[in-house]
Amino acid sequence: MGRSRFTKKERAWILYDWANSVYATNIMAAIFPPIFVNIAGNAGDAIWGYATSLATLVAALLSPVLGAIADYKGMKKKLFTFFALLGIIATGLIAFFGNWKIMLIFYVISRIGFSCSNLFYDSFLTDVTTNDRMDKVSSWGYAMGYIGGSTIPFVISIAVLAFLGYSNPFAQKFSIIITSVWWMVFTIPFLKDVEQIHYIDSDKKPTFLQVMRQTLQTAKEITREKGLFLFIIAYFFYIDGVGTVINISTAYGASLGLGTMGMILALLVTQIVAMPCSILFGGFSKKVGARKLLLFAIAVYIVICLFGFVMGFTLEPSQKAYEDAYEDFKTEVVASLPTFVEEEKAEAALTTYFQKTSDYIRNNNQDGLDKLHLTWADMHESDIALATVAEDIIELSRSDFIDSTDTIDAYQKSIKTSSTIFWMMAILVGTVQGGIQATSRSLFGKLIPKKRSNEFFGFFDIFGKFASFIGPLLYSLIASLTGRSSYGTIALAVLFVIGFVVLYKSGDELDRLEKERAMSAD
């Protein structure tokens, strides 16, 4: 009968996911990006995107080479420690600077540290546990990441920001510092208890040429080993879809007019649901097999994409009807407004004013409409009186617009329906998001030689990172060409279908390779 309790090494390994997941939520996704964009100004989002791409590219290119070095005796723990501390220290330093350029430099460094430490963390899976427990340990790692780093410090940070105000400097710095401190504290067990068991035994340090030759040799082995190669191809497609769903979900919802706070809460529910479901995946994997469980998860993602298509496809006509009607209303009103002294400032202020008006009407926010005023910095004395006249004209026309069109009611009803679908999708994503990543990691760990786990995980990592470019590009391209974001979700379904077919066809080869590795002593 197998062991049920985790060993000291397994617990320490699992805790690192608990430790560093806060970086993914606070720094990469939810809190720091808008802080940075606000400080950097108009081009902040583009600069952030370039910096993120640079950090991802550097980490991806380093992965196979670092993996080859780490497989030598005593190197894996040293490299893990270096990159983990690099990420932790660079993250903490972000909080001590107000200059966006310096903050950006430390962000790029911290993200490289985060990504590379995860490479070594993943490969340590083969050192801390056995093949028959790999699914369980890997799943618990993701589960603890979701409920720990992705939820507890994230909620604390949100509470501080809500209490002190999102623009409060102390609240912003707190959300960054808690990331660094949480990451460091829960990394300590890993540093104490996890050691490299499988390695290439050599008294000499590997030379650059040896590392490059070994890296090329590993690439050749992956292509020659049919089962491993097919799994990598399938993984490339379906993990691209998984990453794209994570990255574009709120942007897709926002483009359809869904409420931001509602979407954030739905995504928080995703994290909470993902915790127990990741653990369940670990248990079911042993009973039904990792490949079958991955096929099930991919099928669920195909359903999620279809839900996303229905959500957008049914909402977009109502959205367009409302936007066209509102544009006609705005054009008519603007033509009747007085001419301001400071025309450029007035035009910018009116653009903001009309945008807020549109949002408030769409969301049936009468309180927001009542408090809305036309203002801009250093308003000319003559424009003060004209702004009051303009507000009166807009308010009268707005009342007529609301009373005379049924497009508003139709749009509001569609938003309610689509919001319900979004919540259903969030829960569905939670059921498989952690499981598909954890099971992929553990299955890959069973398919590779343990002494060279880092090197192979380096390629696993690089495939995952480069895959993250295809999905968003495909989604954006199709959405741009068709003018409907909903069609972009069909493109994501295609990625999952390809991954499903390749993984389904590779069953015999994967079973054979897994049995061979289990009997091998390497």
Q: How many domains does the structure of the chain reveal? A: 2
Per-residue confidence (pLDDT) for residue 462, from 0 to 100: 72
Q: Please, are residues 222 and 459 in contact by the beta-carbon 8 Å criterion?
A: yes
pLDDT of 370 over the 80 cut: yes
Pair 258, 341 in one domain: yes
Q: How confident is the model at residue 13 (pLDDT cuts 50, 70, 90)?
A: very high
Q: Are residues 409 and 466 in the same domain?
A: yes
The answer to whether residue 351 sits within a structural domain is: yes
| CA–CA dist 15, 366 (Å, integer) | 48
Rounded distance, CA 198 to CA 522, Å? 8
How much of the chain is helix, strand and coil, in % rounded to 5? Answer: 85, 0, 15
- C-alpha span between 13 and 137 (Å, rounded): 9
| Among 408-412, 471-475, 495-499, the range of highest mean pLDDT | 495-499
Residue 30 lies in a domain: yes
**Residues 20 and 152 grouped into a single domain:** yes
In this structure, what are the phi and psi dihedrals at residue 200, rounded to the nearest 5 degrees? Answer: -85, 120
- 3-state secondary structure (DSSP) of residue 72: strand
307 domain residue, yes or no: yes
Under the banding of pLDDT at 50, 70 and 90, the label for residue 503 is: very high
Q: What is the DSSP string of 44-58?
A: HHHHHHHHHHHHHHH
Confidence bin at 467 (pLDDT 50/70/90): low
Give, as one character, the DSSP assignment of residue 200: B
Give the residue numbers spanning the domain of 349.
221-522
Mean pLDDT of 451-460: 74
Tell whether 33 and 106 lie within a shared domain.
yes
Please give the DSSP secondary-structure letter assigned to residue 27.
I
* CATH of residue 394: 1.20.1250
What average pLDDT score do residues 147-163 get? Answer: 83
Cα distance between residue 146 and residue 105, in whole Å: 28
Q: Which residues contact 471 (CB under 8 A, 6 or more apart)?
A: 240, 241, 243, 244, 247, 248, 491, 492, 495
Would you say residue 162 lies in a domain?
yes
Q: Which alpha helices (H) appear in 405-452, and where do they start and end?
A: 407-447
Q: How many CB atoms lie within 10 A of CB 419?
A: 20
Q: Which residues pair with 200 in a beta bridge?
A: 72
**What b/e sequence results for 359-383 when a residue is b if at least 16 CB atoms lie within 10 Å of its CB, and e otherwise?**
ebbbeeeeeebeebebebeebeeeb
Contact 405, 325 (CB under 8 A): yes
Give residue 469's pLDDT: 63
Specify the pLDDT at position 80. Answer: 95
